Every structure is written in C-alpha cells, then in structure tokens.
Structure 1
Amino acid sequence: MDEQLITISIDEPFEPLVAEEMLRSVVQRTLLLEGWPSAELTVLVTDDETVCQLNRDYRGLDEPTDVLSFSAQEMQPDATTFVSAPEMVNYLGDVIIAYPVAAAQAPTFGRSVVEELALLAVHGALHLLGYDHGTPGEEEVMWAKQAAILNLA
C-alpha cells in the first residue's frame, strides 16, 4: 500500500502564521506527480538564525536563505536513481524553510506569504527528488515543475 509520511514541524513563533495542512498538501502533490506515492520527508519552518547556521555549516555561506534541502538519498552517477540504506529506502530528507526570509521576499515576487511558503516547500521537495537549477536548462525544468504543481492548487 502506498503511503506518504510528511512530517511538518513549525517553530513556536511561526505556528499561528503557517498552515501546516497546506504545506503537507503541496508536498504530497509534488511527490505524487513525481511518481513517489510512498515516501517520507520532513519540512521544518524555522527562523533565520537556524537557517543561517545550517547554510554556514553545510554550504559555507554565512547568510540566511529561504529554503535548504538535505537529501537522505545519494544519486547514482547516471542521475536517474537513488541509492540508500535499506531501512531508509523511502526517506527522502529534510526541507528547512526560513519563515522571516519567506515573509520578506514574498511581496518582492508578488506573492502572499502563504503562496511563498507553498512554493518553497515544493522547491525543497523537488531538490530532494534530484532537481536542481544550477544551469539555465535545469532551472527551466525545475521552475516549470513548480508552476505545474502549484497551479493544481
């Protein structure tokens, strides 16, 4: 039986500002549309300081960012399949969203904070599924997937 386990964790100051079920729904939709009916991942909505520390520790960038993704899977050299420990087969990883950055940048892009959080959750989930935006071609594919997923809302 296919099952998704999407754990949403929202730091206390942001709990009244974030719709947990909306985040779960857009991530579920992302996984289903990408052919992952049975998968697990975690989404954390937190503060700038936490994201800045993670960005510093894992990317060498001493600044907050809107979203980080930490994959529990390792891509095969052919970039089409994942390798993972048997007990971790369905665990894709973690998506960490900085609420203050999301809230600050939403108006710049003409989105509400809710829309921005949805976009960032989808963006992070797509990264866990192996998508990237390091080249114009990759960006075009990833942005098209994000738009298609969010237009289904």
Structure 2
Amino acid sequence: MGKVKVMITNNQTEVKIPVGIRLLVRRCCHAVLEYEGHNDDFEVSVSFVNDEQIHELNREHRNIDRSTDVLSFPLGENGDFDMNHETGAYLLGDIVISLETAYRQAEIYGHSLEREIGFLTVHSMLHLLGYDHEESNLQERIMREKEEAILGNLGISRDATFLGEHEHR
C-alpha cells in the first residue's frame, strides 16, 4: 500500500473539532485506497467549512442553491490522476465537509459526529476515485456496498438509522 498524504484545513469556527477527527479522516482516506487496491502514493485535501461556505460552493460549482453535507472535487478522470512531481504522489482532489451539517445529521440520526464524518469522508473519497451515484441505481448500490465494507473494516458500524443528506446511506 502506498502512502496517503491528507492535508486537512479547518475553515470554520461553528463546530469544535473533537480530538481524533483528523486521524479518523486520514484512516478513512487510507482505507478507501487500500480497499480499492491502489498501491501508489496519493494526496488529498480535506476542508472543514460551515453551512454558508458549502452553500456558496454548491451554488457556484453545481448550480444547487442550498447547503449540503459534503462536496467532492476530483482532479482525476477515468482513473487518470495528475502527479505532484515533487513528491511523486497522484493528486486525488478535494473533499469539503460542512461540520455544521455533519453535526446536525449526527444528532438527528442518533450517532456520533465521528461516525458521520467517517461516512462523509469514505463517500467523498469514492467520488474522487470516479464513483458516481447520480447516474444509475447500480452505481449507487455499488457505492453503498463499498461504503459499508470500508466502514466495517474501520470498525465504524452502520445501521438502518444511518441516514442524512445522502439518502442512499
């Protein structure tokens, strides 16, 4: 398994980031690449934002005028990724998580913020690798199965109450 460099930035002040969240995000990114059988080095950027910031990004990049829980900005296409020639690592892209929404969803569905952020990170990493649930039910089912398997490998259990913005949870 190659190395995964995860650059995490906190751009919000509304939600205090619990101890261990940064490590959890790194573990989730690593687990997705391991599960998918990637042996190269990768870099991924993860930003924590508030609802207002993610609303603006959603409107700007997707023409959807509301906040959401997570956005994925892949740099690769069809399994081809640009390389950081200084490090030799492939650039996967950016994950943007609204901690306000993640916190609300965790409360609504009765699980921890850690579990919510774990799901959002795994879900978004699969998007960065090219998976998409917008186009077909089959792709959605494949993503859901992979998410469940990866979170299970990490010891982050899921159950029927594990729902939220992404209805396919």
* TM-score, length of structure 2 as denominator length: 0.79
Q: Which residue of 2 aligns with 1:99?
A: 99
What secondary structure, in the 3-state scheme, does the structure 1 residue paired with 2:17 have?
helix
What is the identity percentage for the equivalent residue pairs of Structure 1 and Structure 2? 34
1:46 shift after superposition: 1.1
Pick from 80, 94, 99: which aligns with 1:82? 80
Pick from 57, 70, 88: which aligns with 1:67? 70
Q: Which residue of 2 aligns with 1:115?
A: 115
Q: CA RMSD in A?
A: 2.1
* TM-score, length of structure 1 as denominator length: 0.86
Structure 2 residue runs of 5 or longer lacking an equivalent are 155-169
Q: Which residue of 1 aligns with 2:3?
A: 3
Query: Does residue 55 in structure 1 map to residue 58 in structure 2?
Result: yes
Greater helix content: 1
Report how many aligned residue pairs link the two structures. Answer: 148
Q: Which residue of 2 aligns with 1:142?
A: 143
The one-letter code matched in structure 1 to 2:42 is A
Moved segments of 4+, more than 6 Å: none
Query: Does residue 42 in structure 1 map to residue 45 in structure 2?
Result: yes
Change (3 A) 1:15 1:144: same
1:85 shift after superposition: 6.4
Structure 1 residue runs of 5 or longer lacking an equivalent are 76-80
CA distance in 2, matches of 1:5, 1:60: 31
